Structures are given as C-alpha cells and as structure tokens.
Amino acid sequence: MNFQLSVSLVIAGLFAASVLAWLLTKLNKALGAWVTVVASAAALTMMALLHGEIGSTVNLFFLQFTLTEYGWFFSVIMLAVFACVSFFNIYWMPKLIHPAAYNMLYLLALTGTLGAFSARDFITLFIFWELIVWASMFIIPFGKSRKASVTYYAFSAFGSLSMLYGILFLYHKFGSFEISSVLQQAAGDPTAAIVAFVTIGIAGLIKLGVFPFHIWLPQAHGNAPEPFSPILSGGLVKAGGFAAFLIVAVMPSYKAFSTNIEFLGRQLTMPLPNYALAILGAVSIVVGTLMAISQNDFKKLIAYSSVANAGYIIIGLAMAGGLSTGGALMHIFAHAIASAAAFLAAAAVVHRTGTTKMNELGGLIHRMPLTYLVYLIAIISMAGIPPMAGFISKWMLFQSMMGRGMAFIAAAAFFGSIGSFLYVFRPLSAVFLGQLSTKHRYVKEAPPLMMFPMILLSLASVVFGVFPNWVLRIISQVQTSVGLEGLTLEGTKIIASNGAIDPTLIVIIFGLGFLIAMIIFLRFPKSRKVPLMDQYTASEFIWTPELLHYATDFYAPFERLYQKAPRTETLYRTIVHKVSELGAFASYAFYSFKPGTVLLWVAIVVVAMLGGSVL
Amino acid sequence: MNMNQVFLGTLTGLIILVFAFFWQTTLSGVTRKIVARFHKRYGPKFYQEFRDIFKLLTKTGISHGWVYNFGVMMALGGIMGTAMFMPVMQFAAFPGLDNIFIYVYLFAVGMLGMAMSAVGSGNPLAGIGVMRALTQMVGYEVPFMVVVLAMVYGHGTASVSELAAVQQTAGLATWNIVKMPIGTLVGFICLLGMLGKKPFETFIAPAEIASGPMVEYGGKQLGMLMLLHEFSIFIEVSLFVNLFLGGAVTVVGYAIKYVGVFVLASLISQALGRFKIDQVIKYFYRWPIALALVQALIVIFLGWGV
C-alpha cells in the first residue's frame, strides 16, 4: 500500500482518534486523556512535515483539501496550542461530568479547525466550521454555566448562517465552490465582493469576538472548563482571523473596492469596507480594554483581553499592506501562545486553589513560583513589551498605522496598548504577589506535566521575541503566496519603510543592563530577610494577611469614570426582549384557546376563502 | 549588523550611560538647590544626590523575598538598557535602530519590574501606588503617542536620532517646537506626567500613601531605585529634547535645552497642588488628547509642520 502523508490522512486519523479517545476514556479516564495528548502532538508533527506538500490537493470521500501557505500557518499555530493544552486534560478528567465526551469533542474541535484551514472548497470549509462550533458548544457547558453555551451558539449560528448565505450567493454567481478561484473572481465583481466581504466577514468577526459580537467571548471563555479556555482563546478564536484573512487578502480587497475616494482633499488610505473593519477593531480594543480592567474574575479578564487583541488583529488585516498583514499574522501567533499560557497559568491556579476570583487569592508566588514566571512571560508578551513575541507584532502594527497617519484608530490602539499594562498587572498583583492568604498556606506548585506545556509556551514567547525573523520569514511567504508584499528582513533586523528595529540587539542591550544591575546588587551588602507581614502600616496593628492584601476593586478610581457608560449587553438584552415580545404577541394571536380569538381567526379564514372564490 | 558594529554601539551606549548618571544626578542636585532658593531656603549641596545614592547602596536593608530583589534588578536593567539607546547630541549607540517604540516599551520593562517588586513587598500602599502609576500612564501616554504619530507621519521616520537630525537642517525654523507648537505643548504636559511632577504626583503622594511604590524600600534596593529614577528622568527629558527641540549639535546647546526643560518642569511643580488620580485621567482625556488629535489632523490633512 502506498502510504503517503497528506492532510486528509491527518484529518481522518484525528477523527479516528476522537472515537478511540471516547472508547478508551470509558475504560480508563487517564488513558483517554493521553490519547488527546498523543493525537494532537502527532498531528502537529505531521503538519509540520507537510510544509513541502503545499499546493497539492487531496480527497477524503467528497471532501477536498488543498494545503495553502496561510492554511498551513494557521494550522500549525492551532495544533501547537491544542498539543500543549492537552496535557491539562489528564488532570481534569476527575473534575468533568462526561470525561469521555470531553476527550472526543476536544479532538473533534481540532479536526474541525484543521479541516477548515485546509479546505479546498467552501462546502468543506463550512462543514468543518460547523464541526468546530458544535464540538465547542458541547464542551462549554461542562464548565460553570450552561447559559454561556447558549450565548455562544446563538452568535455562532448567526455567523455560520451568514457565511452559508455568502457561499451560496457566490456559487449562484460563479458556479463554483472553490475558495481561491471564487474569491479571485469575486474581486472583479463589486456586488459579489461586498456580499462576500460582509457575510464571511461577519462569521470571522463573531469568531474573533470583535465588537459588537464580543459578548459571547467572556461568557464562554470564563465559564468553559479550565483546559478548554486556552483552546478557545488561543486556538478557535483565531479561526475568525482565518475568515478575515480570506476576505481581505485571499480576495484582494484593494482590487475589489475602490480606494479612489477623497476625504477633505486627501485620498483614503484604504477602501471603505476595510475602514469599517478597522473601526470595529478600534472599538473592540477600547471596549475590551475597559472591560478587562474592571473584571474580578481571572479568566474573564483574559477573555476580555482577547477581545482587545482581536481588535489589533482585525486592524492589521484590514490595512492589508505588507507590514500590517505581517503584523496581524504575527499577532495571531504571539497572542495564541501568550493567551494560551496565561489561561493555562490560570488553570493551574484553579487546580490548586479552586477559585478564579482574584480577591480571594494572593501571594501565590511564594507557593507556585514557576506558574508565576509563566504568567509573567505571558503578560509581558500580551502587553507588547520586549523581549517577547508580542512586542514584535505590536511594533509592526503601530509602525504601519503611523505610516498611514490613521490618527484615531491608532489612538485607540495606543490606549489599548497602555491599558493592557493595567489589566495584565492586576492578576499578577492580586493572585501572585501581595500577601499569601492563610487558607493557601499549604498550596503546592502545579504538577510537572502541567508545568511542561506551560514552560514550552513561555519559551516560544521568548525565543520568537528574540529571533522573530524565524516566524516572520514564514509569514512573508504566506503574504507573497496571496499576492501581498512580503516583509523586509535583514539578518536579525526588521525593516519598515519608516523605521527599523533589531529585536536581538534590544535583548542584548537589555541583558547588558540587567547584568550591570545584578552586579550592583551583588556588590553591595546582603539584605536581611524579613517575613511578609513585617510591614510599614503607619502604626496600625494588623495580623491577618487578607487585610494587608490590596486586590478588591483594584482600579476603582479609574472604573468609576466609565461605570455608567452604556453596555453592549444592554443592547442585546433589548433585542432579546423585543423578540420575546414579538413571540408573545404571535402566541397570543395564533396559539390561543380563548373562544373569541379562535372565532376571530375562523371568521377571517372563512371571509378570505369566500372573498377568494368571489373574486 | 556585524559584531563590530554591535561592539562599538554597545561601547557608545555604556559611555552614554555613565554620562547620563553623572549629568542627571548633578542636575537633580542643582535643581534641588534652585527649588530651595524659590522656597527661600538654603538647600543641600549640589552633590547631595550622589551622597544619598552611595549611602543607601552601602547600607544593610531588608528584603521581602526573591521577587522583591529580582524586580529591582529587572527595573534598573530595563531602564539602563533604554538609556543606552538614547541619542545624546550626535552620539547615538545605534543610529536608525533607536526606534521610538523602544523608549515606550523597553522603558515599560523597567516600570513593570519596579511595580512587581513593589507589590511583591506585600504592602497594600505599594499596591495602591502602582495602581495609580499605571492609571496615570494611561493618561499621559496616549496623547504623547498621538503627537509622536503626527511626527513620524510627517517626517517619515520613527528613529529618534533621525527625527532629531531632520530638525537640524535649517536651525530654529525646522525645530518641531516651531513646526508643531500644539504638539509640543501636549508633549510638555505629558512630560510632567512622565516625570511625576505636580500636579501629576499622585502615585508618590508621600503624605497620603507613604511614597506609594517606594513604601517598603531601604538600603541598596532604594539606592538602586534612586539610580533608576535618575536614568528615567534622563530618558524622558532627552526624549523631549530630541523630539521637540531639535536634539542638539553643540555641548552648550544641549546643556541649555536639557537644563531649561528640566528646571522649568521642576519649577512648575512647585507652584501647583496635586491632582487626585481620577482628575489626572479626566484632565488628560480632555485637553491634551484633543490638542494632540488636532495636531495630528493638521499634519495629516493640511501638511503643515512636515
């Protein structure tokens, strides 16, 4: 038998593994969880090997797959996140109500993403897209809330239907389902282009959790089982980035829409639909940042930060230039590994303490120092501070915004960037630093199998922050493969038209600075170690650590400034209210047992029939 | 970039670092003296800051655990790294690679290290101080970056040494203070915020939260934080001089600009009271951000100041 490695083989294998995981979990819970580890790691290895196969088409029954540069890029990020997170499944088996179903759905979600990213035609894309939605919809209620799943499904269904409409519209117009050729043709037809842009765009924006579709994200991420939150934030959400990439880059939006629009004597820097996308991104950044700052739940905070980061991704993609798309793709990568690591650190904390409420925690650095370091590295990357991967992507995005003079969108992005210092610091301060609560005095460090993926993700953040060009070369290939300008990379330097940085050099100089600081520190007399409760308290006598821990309402003065601002949730609640009112009216009018109403309808029907026959 | 350039650049960076230490620490002492004269006091000797730093470094202090120490090293390391990138007159360690974002984000490494160490001490006053410092940062950084955006868009480069060089082509007329007066005003207000001068002194507020982040420090840790303070003043003032006052070509020009900006900021501080933290945010999100956007629109749409 000719055994050749191909995408369809990987997908079929993952599908088989998901069934196997279900069966084995029934026998032994740990064994089933190990299947998810092995299967996702094996799939990652195979996809990495498949880089040479880009461009080839393979079939699996009626499903067709073509591996593209961008599909490969997204798949590898996704698989890396899945593979790292799967280690946590082992520890969560006793905590879940249906461990067998969880393991199966976990692998099915992975199959779904892989299939969607390597789909050749829209039907395959849609089938696998739905697989992602359904698999994750059933996993989310394993956590804290069933309602979260309903919200998630309501949004996803809207996105899927919108995409389906777009797919059928394009089929009607061009008579083909093939993604690349249809999107290329659509670029030449303004109506088709705008329909594809809006319908597929909505599906992408919903998955990414961009304003105004962001409210499902904190609910789903915050309530999903702890090992699945990093999958949602680091992995599945990025599928939305994939959909957005399809409509702005694979369908060349600059060709499809006119840029020849003058505004106050200055030509617009990008087409109007792209502008709309970028504005939504800017609003998401501001809304996500403000909401993240005011959260007390560790996981909800990271979830809202994903909303803000989705904003950067969408702005970068909307600009559709060489540097900006590169920045967006790099941000997808950097944020995937950083937010997965942050969520995993949160999961480790939950595993040991059983709570995600930040004001109940504190001082865990003295008990879980490695988890602290993982979280620290993750937030440095999320805040866009060197020497982490997140800095590179933010620099690229800011540099391209400055180059185009997009003052208002950039102001929102700057706000989000500085605002991220606030929200990422809050868990650091409230959960890990400060006073150790008495009830957590005997908490242990996370078990080694949990540490392993967390350390791996942290190393990735650091390594690709110091040597980003390893990833950027691949990203550059992705860009040229869809006809965008590539990136200018020179050794360790990244060169933009209006500035350059050398990340490796920054790290060398920072390292030198740190070395000098360390020498100064070690050169002078050793400090006397004092217990944590030995504090300056302005002559108050306080003996309970909880009273000396500043964690509740951390940013209260800042929050007060926007407490009364209108919330998107109110808008949706109003819509829900109106729909249910309409339903109530319909049921009152049509499904009534009141004799008067029944008589009225009988009379109307009779009159209509008579009237019809007379005319 | 080959090894030779890296080595020479690093050497230049180290020289700039040493210069920054002596220059800014002396100047801080001199400014203390000037401020004292305004208060009708005699004031300390001009080298008092040196005395303070070295005294603290040699004292035996306390430590609240490893993050308390590590944070201080990370903070000083980050700030010294940032200072090494700063162009002084025509001397720049890595011309072209001293991107403006390095000063914003590498500086943030230092700030994060300090915040980490301060909260790691376990004192709630430190936590409150850090919360205020971060909140204030949201205030001043956004208007400042919008002005920088206008500047980068206008001059087509984000390298600080190149931005300074652009302004040196035809004397005073090419300085950004002349070409972008609104932006310079915003920049100066933001500089006051960065320096933590009154009215933006909320996060230190000695009488209210016992010096905020610094509450638990003593001994060499406090000495290192004083060093850090001098370096961060050097970075902030130099950035203003390079971005708005056309850098400097001669030693005299450099001294006049730098001393002028720093002494002015210190004197303004003496005349004002302290804002509450929500007042800081409200203030920055009223006038400075509006003026910054106006400046950006003037540059982008009218092409003035390019």
Radius of gyration, alpha carbons of chain A = 26
How confident is the model over A351-367, as a mean pLDDT? 84
What does DSSP assign to residue A226? T
Q: What is the separation, in whole angstroms, between the first and last Cα of chain B?
A: 31
Closest of B154, B208, B189 to residue B292, by C-alpha: B189
For residue A119, what are the β-bridge partners? A65
CB A99 within 8 A of CB A36: no
CA-based nearest residue in chain B for residue A514: B77
Would an 8 Å CB–CB cutoff place A602 in contact with chain B? no
Question: Which of B102, B151, B277 is most worth mutating to test chain A (most A CB atoms within 10 A of its CB)?
Answer: B102
Which positions in chain A touch B150 (Cβ < 8 Å)?
405, 407
Tell me what the pLDDT averaged over chain A comes to. 85
Place of tokens 């909260």: B119
Q: Over 60: is that where the pLDDT of A114 sits?
A: yes
Would an 8 Å CB–CB cutoff place A308 in contact with chain B? no
Q: Over 50: is that where the pLDDT of A314 sits?
A: yes
CB B149 within 8 A of CB A401: yes
pLDDT of residue B231: 92
Q: What is the largest CA-CA distance in chain A?
A: 108
How confident is the model over A215-235, as a mean pLDDT? 83
Q: Over 80: is that where the pLDDT of A373 sits?
A: yes
Range of the domain at B208: 3-302
Residue A409 to chain B, least CA–CA distance (Å): 10
Q: Which helix (H) or strand (E) holds A123?
A: helix A122-139
Instruction: For residue A247, give every residue at least 6 positions away whose Cβ sits within 8 Å of its Cβ, in sequence order, or none.
Output: A183, A196, A197, A200, A201, A204, A253
Place of tokens 């109110």: A570
- What's the pLDDT tens digit per position in A543-595? 888 888 888 888 888 888 888 888 888 888 898 899 999 998 888 877 777 78
CB B54 within 8 A of CB B204: no
Around Cβ A79, how many Cβ atoms within 10 Å? Answer: 26
Q: In total, how many domains does chain B have? A: 1
Residue A506 to chain B, least CA–CA distance (Å): 8
Would an 8 Å CB–CB cutoff place A594 in contact with chain B? no
Q: Over 90: is that where the pLDDT of A356 sits?
A: no
Q: Over 60: is that where the pLDDT of A456 sits?
A: yes
Distances (CA, A) of A539 to A46, A485, A534, B209: 64, 65, 12, 14
Cα-flanking dihedrals φ and ψ of residue B91, to 5°? -85, 120
CB A84 within 8 A of CB A117: no
The helix-helix angle for A298-319 and A272-293 (nearest 10°) equals 160
pLDDT of residue B1: 65
pLDDT of residue A1: 38
CB A215 within 8 A of CB A572: yes
Burial class (CB in 10 A: 0-12, 13-18, 19+), B262: buried
* B 122-181: CB under 8 A from A: 122-125, 127-128, 130-132, 134-135, 137-138, 141-142, 145-146, 148-150, 152-153, 156-159
Whether residue B153 and residue A533 make contact (CB cut-off 8 A), yes or no, is no
Distance CA A15, CA A7 (A): 12
User: Among residues of chain B, what percentage have pLDDT more than 90?
Assistant: 18
User: Among residues of chain A, what percentage have pLDDT more than 90?
Assistant: 7
Q: Over 80: is that where the pLDDT of B171 sits?
A: no
Nearest CB to A555: which of B81, B131, B293?
B131
CB A211 within 8 A of CB A280: yes
CA A511 from centre of chain: 32
pLDDT of residue A284: 92
Question: Which of A375, A510, A553 is most worth mutating to test chain B (most B CB atoms within 10 A of its CB)?
Answer: A510
Distance CA B12, CA B6 (A): 10
Whether residue A558 and residue B278 make contact (CB cut-off 8 A), yes or no, is yes
Question: Which of A294, A372, A385, A400 is most worth mutating to test chain B (most B CB atoms within 10 A of its CB)?
Answer: A385
- What's the pLDDT tens digit per position in A131-180? 888 888 888 888 777 788 888 888 888 889 998 998 888 888 888 888 88
Radius of gyration, alpha carbons of chain B = 19
pLDDT of residue A615: 57
pLDDT of residue A3: 56
Would an 8 Å CB–CB cutoff place B20 in contact with chain A? no
CB A389 within 8 A of CB A338: yes
CB B235 within 8 A of CB B110: no
Instruction: For residue A525, give every residue at least 6 positions away whose Cβ sits within 8 Å of its Cβ, in sequence order, or none.
Output: B58, B59, B60, B219, B220
How confident is the model over A12-33, as a mean pLDDT? 85
- A5-19, A379-393, B49-63, B76-90, range with the lowest pLDDT: A5-19
Q: What is residue A68's three-state secondary structure?
A: coil
Would an 8 Å CB–CB cutoff place B205 in contact with chain A? no
Distance CA A133, CA A125 (A): 12
Q: Counting every residue, how long is chain B?
A: 306
Nearest CB to B135: which of A516, A517, A558?
A558
Would an 8 Å CB–CB cutoff place B59 in contact with chain A? yes
pLDDT of residue A234: 78
Burial class (CB in 10 A: 0-12, 13-18, 19+), B69: buried
Which alpha helices (H) appear in chain B, and where do they start and end? 3-38, 48-57, 66-85, 100-120, 124-155, 160-166, 176-179, 181-195, 206-209, 219-244, 251-271, 277-284, 287-297
CB B72 within 8 A of CB B118: no
| B181 half-sphere exposure, CB direction, 13 A CA radius | 3
Q: Which amino acid is at A391?
A: F
Residue B27 to chain A, least CA–CA distance (Å): 22
Nearest CB to A407: which of B122, B159, B297?
B297
Q: Which amino acid is at A326?
A: G
Q: Which helix (H) or strand (E) holds A395?
A: helix A389-404
For residue B91, what are the β-bridge partners? B88
A543-581 in b/e form (b: 16+ CB < 10 A) is eebbebbbbeebbebbeebeeeeeeeeeebeeeeeeeee
Instruction: For residue B11, give every residue at least 6 positions away whose Cβ sits within 8 Å of its Cβ, in sequence order, or none.
Output: none
Instruction: For residue B203, give every residue at least 6 positions away whose Cβ sits within 8 Å of its Cβ, in sequence order, or none.
Output: B129, B130, B132, B133, B136, B196, B212, B213, B277
Nearest CB to B67: which of A433, A435, A520?
A433
Q: Over 70: is that where the pLDDT of B7 sits?
A: yes
Q: Over 50: is that where the pLDDT of B176 sits?
A: yes
- What's the pLDDT tens digit per position in A402-434? 888 888 888 999 999 989 888 988 888 888 888
How confident is the model over A605-610, as a mean pLDDT? 86
For residue B163 the two structure tokens come to 């931005």
Nearest CB to B101: which of A395, A510, A532?
A395
Omega into A190 within 30° of 0, i.e. cis? no
* A 518-557: CB under 8 A from B: 518, 520-521, 524-530, 532-538, 548-551, 554-555, 557
Query: Beta strand pairing status for A266-267 and A63-66?
Result: unpaired
- What's the pLDDT tens digit per position in B264-273? 998 888 888 8
Closest of B109, B108, B123 to residue B68, by C-alpha: B123
How confident is the model over B161-169, as a mean pLDDT? 84
Q: Over 70: is that where the pLDDT of A265 sits?
A: no
Residue B97 to chain A, least CA–CA distance (Å): 5
Whether residue A422 and residue B134 make contact (CB cut-off 8 A), yes or no, is yes
Distance CA B75, CA B52 (A): 19
Q: Over 90: is that where the pLDDT of A90 sits?
A: no
Vertex A396, ends B295 and B160: CA angle to 5°?
55
For residue A300 the two structure tokens come to 């909800």
pLDDT of residue B216: 83
Residue A512 to chain B, least CA–CA distance (Å): 7
Work out whether the CA dihedral A442, A447, A448, A453 comes out positive or negative: negative
